């Protein structure tokens, strides 16, 4: 595959090591794509950038080490496209781990740096590469402050270098801070456009600036001096490398660059593999300007001097690539690193012909020849009207007779040439305007009517089932076994729906003041001011709705809900309210106790143990003989299996990629928070709005009477699909333990949900208690949607958190 790779390039300490290295090289080259080093390395990068595949990381690090050891010595010159392959934690307990026979300590194996990088910048193209520029002898002498280094100076191989940076596409909050932070602390400067620009002491060559046009970047800095040298990593046995030293104090490095030395070797034509090397001893934390003299600064820690004989504790901290821009089209290919490809308006987009390629693609798309689930739909705002199937889907209500006679026919709410989703958006805007200064449920009456006229989804053979043409958005089984209390199984019958909020309401006010129109019986009983407020019928503004639409939807990463089959065993555990839960399920109860955010659920366990309730839970008869694994009779097991087949599903809330910036926090506060099975996440990534995490689990159940009196009327109780978060062993962060959502379907694949919370917070949950004891109140409305509705929602801008193009192909 490469003429530049050979085990002979590495100074092995023994014939056995040399033979082992040769075998390792032969194996990895044989396993990779034939004659395509770009594809091989891109495959490594995609796995190393995926936190779900961390179990494969050690093996890939070993392969990269093999490539590095077998690479050829080379000198780099001019600009190079950069690719981060991996970032590794410094192993501060490496020696202790070695004594125990391990390559890395347990703490380092957590790979916190890699996890954080993957959650934020891994595929954004924030770092785009480096350039290596000629430098004068006197500049090197000045930057090192040490004339002894001048013995290594060679105008043919000594270079001063700088890094390239650009703004990530569609940055989130953390990504948006990246480039401003680097500009401030790494002293970045704008991209040079002529050889007259002063760039940190290097000599700008016209030929190099021309090559840079293939690399999209806007800011540059992060200075280093480069020279051929001997690797400082002990495992490299003194092999020759091209060394990039950021540590010289007069380069003004900011921590952690004060620890950094990069090392490079060539592994193929135009492809250089680099290893990040950090010092773990004798390093500086950077400079602190003196208040008395801003021109001077105080070095925090131990300044680097470059002296020989000092053990800096150098370690490998990851790998990166330097790629010759002469092969830019191969670098940016779909099989290589398309995430780095120039975007419209950036350098390289026109130079490499991507503008012409895009024009050709748009012409092809406009003819309706682009494949897709809904071919020809270019305008998801109104273009659906030209597709008979979508037009019927978007304008036809699914409805049943409301329990209230006065609700009438909700079909009259939709205007001509308006989809049901556009109708909901219009109503939502009016609710926001009407309730802004008067947060009463009277403003939600159209939503209330729609809900009471919708049809409750059902459970069939353990699957969530709607009433539309298919009755589901997707159906797929997982691939990774998941453990539930000692029994591993994959997800079965997985389905998910995208989520959006319509309007929120402070339900506590309906408990505090059930009739806001009623005047006090005797105003004289109240102080003058308070009496005036109550008798003048002053109403509160809808702060929840205002905050959501102005701030909340841009911050909170809720993206919808998922459903899958639940086993009778798991269902019996999660619905168990026995007095001896700690004995029956010690590990689960211990989890509740460890997760402070789940204290409301753990409090139910303690109340049950103290016999707080006089009556047992609804399912006590089928749990009396013991849990599933310890004493449950065969008849009771059959009961739970039947319940799982016909009435219950396992549910999760899903979150989009915004949650990744707080991934570590959510793993602490939500005991059920998890990374989705790759097979399930792949399904979402093929659609309009991928999800990144699952959490806030619930039990979904069909054919239930609504717990809100407002949903019932003279014709009986409204049947709904309910989401239960309240059972003690469900767990989850407060206040989710006070929540019971209800759902109906109002159009094919479009569901209207009520967000319902208990307002009697001091009444512990028991399934056998009358729901009225908990004073459940409506806190707002939300939507669940299949893929078609989601494309439409994004196009019309209903509760979206980022700008969406109004035209988009399904």
Give dist(CA 320, CA 527) in Å, integer.
73
| % pLDDT > 70, the chain | 90
pLDDT reading at 424 higher than 60: yes
For residue 153, what are its two tokens?
A: 């100076």
> What is the widest separation between alpha-carbon atoms in the chain?
101
In the block, tokens 């089984």 appear at: 477
CA 477 to chain centre: 22
Predicted local confidence at residue 293, as pLDDT: 62
Backbone angles phi, psi at 595, to 5 degrees: -90, 100
CA 305 to chain centre: 42
Predicted local confidence at residue 375, as pLDDT: 62
Please state, rounded to an integer, the average pLDDT across all residues of the chain. Answer: 87
Predicted local confidence at residue 166, as pLDDT: 92
Concatenating the DSSP letter of every residue in 652-671 gives: EEEE-GGGGGGHHHHHHH-T
For residue 31, what are its two tokens?
A: 């396993």
Q: In this predicted model, what pLDDT tens digit does every residue of 92-137 receive, in sequence order?
A: 888 887 888 787 888 888 888 888 888 788 878 889 999 999 999 9
Identity of the highest mean pLDDT range in 96-110, 133-147, 579-593, 684-698 = 579-593
Helices (H) then strands (E): counts for the chain: 26, 23
Give dist(CA 703, CA 308) in Å, integer.
77
Identity of the highest mean pLDDT range in 46-60, 369-383, 745-759 = 745-759
Predicted local confidence at residue 373, as pLDDT: 62
| DSSP strand pairing (219-230 vs 240-245) | antiparallel
Q: Looking at residues 800-805, what average pLDDT do you find?
A: 59
Predicted local confidence at residue 364, as pLDDT: 43
Cβ contacts of 611-618, under 8 Å, gap ≥ 24: 611/579, 612/764, 613/764, 613/766, 613/768, 613/769, 615/766, 615/768, 615/769, 616/577, 616/768, 617/575, 617/576, 617/577, 617/578, 617/766, 617/767, 617/768, 618/767, 618/768
Give dist(CA 256, CA 233) in Å, integer.
18
Lowest model confidence (mean pLDDT) among 285-299, 642-656, 701-715, 751-765: 285-299
pLDDT reading at 10 higher than 60: yes
Concatenating the DSSP letter of every residue in 544-575 gives: HHHHIIIIIHHH--EEEEEEE---HHHHHHHT
CB 705 within 8 A of CB 742: no
Q: Comparing 693 with 174, which gets the higher pLDDT? A: 693
Predicted local confidence at residue 535, as pLDDT: 40
Lowest model confidence (mean pLDDT) among 20-24, 411-415, 695-699, 733-737: 733-737
pLDDT reading at 807 higher than 70: no
Give dist(CA 629, CA 619) in Å, integer.
17
Predicted local confidence at residue 291, as pLDDT: 57
Q: In this predicted model, what pLDDT tens digit does every residue of 18-73 receive, in sequence order?
A: 999 999 999 998 887 767 899 999 999 999 998 888 889 999 999 999 999 999 99
Task: Report which of 278, 282, 268, 272 is spatially closest to residue 241, judged by C-alpha positions.
Answer: 272
Q: Which runs of consecutive H residues, i.e. helices, occur in 416-524? A: 420-435, 445-453, 508-512
pLDDT reading at 528 higher than 50: no
Lowest model confidence (mean pLDDT) among 141-150, 669-678, 722-731: 141-150
Give dist(CA 521, CA 13) in Å, integer.
96
pLDDT reading at 358 higher than 70: no
Strand partners for 78: 132
Q: In this predicted model, what pLDDT tens digit does every residue of 172-212 receive, in sequence order?
A: 667 777 888 888 888 899 999 899 888 888 999 999 999 99
Give dist(CA 729, CA 586) in Å, integer.
11
**3-class SS at 355?**
helix
CB 597 within 8 A of CB 670: yes
Q: Looking at residues 288-311, what average pLDDT do you find?
A: 75
Helix (H) or strand (E) holding 590: helix 586-594
Lowest model confidence (mean pLDDT) among 203-207, 269-273, 293-297, 441-445: 293-297
Angle between helices 388-395 and 420-435 (to 10 degrees): 30
Give dist(CA 771, CA 776) in Å, integer.
7
Give dist(CA 24, CA 39) in Å, integer.
19
Backbone angles phi, psi at 802, to 5 degrees: -145, 165
Q: Which runs of consecutive H residues, i.e. helices, occur in 595-733? A: 599-609, 634-646, 663-669, 678-685
Predicted local confidence at residue 367, as pLDDT: 37
Query: How far is the CA of 323 from the CAs of 76, 81, 332, in angstroms?
Result: 10, 5, 11
In the block, tokens 């093929």 appear at: 686
pLDDT reading at 513 higher than 80: no
Task: Report which of 250, 305, 299, 256 is spatially closest to residue 280, judged by C-alpha positions.
Answer: 256
Predicted local confidence at residue 515, as pLDDT: 61
């Amino acid at each position: 595959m490469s003429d530049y790779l050979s085990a002979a390039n590495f100074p092995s300490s023994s014939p056995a090591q040399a033979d082992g290295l040769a075998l390792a090289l032969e194996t990895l080259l044989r396993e990779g794509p034939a004659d395509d080093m770009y594809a091989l390395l891109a495959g490594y990068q995609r796995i190393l950038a995926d936190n779900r595949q961390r179990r494969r990381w050690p093996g890939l690090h070993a392969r990269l080490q093999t490539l590095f050891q077998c690479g050829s010595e080379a000198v780099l010159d001019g600009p190079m496209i950069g690719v981060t392959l991996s970032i590794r934690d410094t192993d501060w307990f490496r020696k202790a781990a070695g004594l125990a026979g391990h390559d890395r300590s347990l703490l380092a194996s957590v790979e916190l740096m890699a996890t954080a990088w993957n959650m934020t910048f891994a595929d954004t193209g924030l770092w785009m590469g480096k350039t290596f520029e000629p430098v004068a002898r006197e500049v090197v002498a000045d930057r090192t402050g040490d004339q002894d280094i001048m013995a290594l100076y060679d105008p043919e191989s000594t270079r001063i270098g700088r890094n390239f940076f650009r703004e990530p596409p569609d940055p989130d909050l953390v990504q948006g801070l990246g480039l401003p932070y680097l500009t401030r602390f790494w002293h970045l400067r704008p991209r040079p456009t002529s050889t007259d620009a002063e760039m940190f002491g290097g000599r700008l060559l016209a030929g190099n600036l021309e090559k840079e046009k293939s690399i999209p970047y806007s800011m540059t800095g992060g200075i280093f001096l480069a020279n051929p040298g001997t690797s400082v990593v002990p495992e490299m046995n003194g092999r020759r490398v091209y060394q990039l030293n950021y540590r010289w104090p007069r380069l003004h490095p900011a921590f952690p660059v004060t620890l950094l030395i990069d090392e490079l070797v060539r592994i193929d034509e135009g492809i250089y593999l680099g290893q990040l090397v950090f010092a773990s001893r004798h390093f500086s934390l950077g400079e602190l300007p003196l208040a008395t003299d801003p021109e001077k600064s105080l070095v925090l820690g131990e300044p680097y001097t470059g002296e020989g004989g000092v053990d800096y504790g150098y370690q490998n901290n990851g790998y990166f690539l330097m790629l010759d821009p002469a092969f830019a089209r191969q670098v940016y290919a779909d099989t290589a690193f398309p995430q780095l490809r120039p975007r419209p308006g950036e350098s390289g987009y026109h130079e490499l012909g991507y503008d012409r390629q895009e024009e050709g693609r748009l012409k092809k798309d406009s003819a309706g020849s682009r494949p897709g689930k809904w071919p020809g739909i270019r305008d998801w705002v109104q273009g659906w009207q030209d597709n008979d199937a979508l037009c019927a889907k978007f304008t036809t209500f699914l409805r049943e007779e409301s329990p209230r006679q006065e609700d009438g026919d909700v079909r009259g709410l939709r205007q001509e040439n308006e989809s049901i989703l556009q109708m909901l958006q219009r109503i939502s805007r009016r609710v926001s305007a009407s309730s802004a200064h008067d947060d009463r449920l009277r403003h939600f009456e159209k939503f209330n009517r729609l809900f009471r006229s919708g049809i409750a989804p059902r459970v069939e053979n353990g699957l969530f089932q709607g009433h539309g043409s298919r009755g589901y958005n997707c159906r797929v089984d997982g691939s990774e076994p998941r453990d539930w209390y000692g029994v591993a199984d994959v997800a079965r019958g997985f389905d998910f729906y995208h989520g959006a909020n319509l309007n929120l309401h402070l339900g506590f006010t309906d408990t505090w003041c059930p009739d806001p129109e009623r005047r006090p019986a005797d105003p004289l009983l109240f102080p003058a001011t308070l009496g005036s407020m109550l008798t003048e019928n002053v109403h509160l503004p809808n702060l929840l709705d205002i905050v959501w639409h102005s701030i909340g939807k841009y911050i909170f990463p809720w993206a919808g809900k998922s459903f899958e089959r639940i086993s009778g065993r798991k269902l019996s555990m999660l619905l168990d309210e026995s007095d001896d839960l700690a004995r029956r399920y010690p590990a689960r109860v211990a989890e509740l106790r460890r997760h402070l955010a789940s204290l409301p659920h753990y409090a139910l366990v303690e109340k049950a143990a103290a016999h707080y309730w006089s009556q047992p839970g609804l399912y006590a008869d089928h749990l009396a003989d013991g849990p599933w694994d310890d004493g449950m009779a065969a008849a009771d097991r059959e009961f739970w299996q039947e319940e799982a087949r016909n009435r219950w599903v396992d549910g999760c809330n899903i979150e989009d990629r915004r949650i990744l910036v707080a991934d570590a926090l959510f793993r602490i506060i939500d005991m059920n928070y998890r990374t989705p099975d790759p097979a399930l996440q792949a399904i979402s990534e093929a659609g309009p709005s991928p999800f990144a995490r699952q959490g806030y689990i619930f039990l979904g159940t069909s054919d239930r009477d609504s717990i809100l009196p407002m949903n019932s009327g003279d014709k009986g109780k409204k049947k709904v699909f309910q989401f239960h978060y309240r059972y003690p062993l469900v767990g989850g962060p407060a206040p989710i333990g006070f929540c019971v959502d209800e759902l109906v379907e109002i159009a094919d694949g479009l569901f209207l949900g009520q967000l319902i919370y208990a307002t009697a917070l001091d009444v512990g949950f028991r399934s056998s208690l009358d729901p009225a004891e908990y004073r459940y109140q409506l806190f707002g409305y939300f939507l669940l949607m299949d893929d078609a509705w989601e494309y439409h929602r994004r196009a019309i801008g209903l509760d979206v958190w980022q700008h969406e193009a109004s035209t988009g192909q399904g």
